[in-house]
Amino acid sequence: MDIISQLQQQVNTIATLAFNTFGTLQRDTPPVRLSPNYPEPPANSSEDAVNIEEQPKIMSATLVKAAKQFDVLVAALPLSEGGEEAQLKRISELQAENEAVGQVLQRQLEAAGEFYRLSPP
């Protein structure tokens, strides 16, 4: 698998981990009393409390590990040849090529439209 595909896969992994981490925290966090006007929230059982304390640490560590793996992949990207000036020149060349191909395509489209207008059904 090429480096760009690996980066895309790692971004998806990070997004999934973040989604699951936030969802788990939202689901499992014990209720908190928002105001003295509200009754005291029910207490959780002791075995749930242990899991609630450890699970965010584990999930956070997994998320950090995935982010570090992303950094490793980014560091493995090849350096650009010629620097910024060469990149800008190449971008200009590609834009000019794109414009030329677009003009050819537009002429072909117009010719096809003219052909269909002139030919009987």
Name the 3-class secondary structure at 76: coil
The answer to whether the pTM exceeds 0.85 is no
Query: Dihedral of the CA atoms 67, 70, 75, 81 (nearest 10)?
Result: -140
- Between the CA of residue 90 and those of 78, 85, 99, 100, what are the distances in Å? 17, 9, 14, 15
Question: Same domain for 30 and 57?
Answer: yes
Does 57 share its domain with 99?
no
How would you write the pLDDT of the chain (121 residues) with one tens digit per residue?
888 999 999 999 999 999 999 998 888 887 888 888 888 877 766 555 557 778 888 999 999 999 999 999 999 988 777 788 888 999 999 999 999 999 999 999 998 888 877 776 6
Same domain, 59 and 112: no
Please name the residues in contact with 31: beta carbons below 8 A apart, sequence gap of 6 or more. Answer: 41, 42
Q: Is 41 inside any structural domain?
A: no
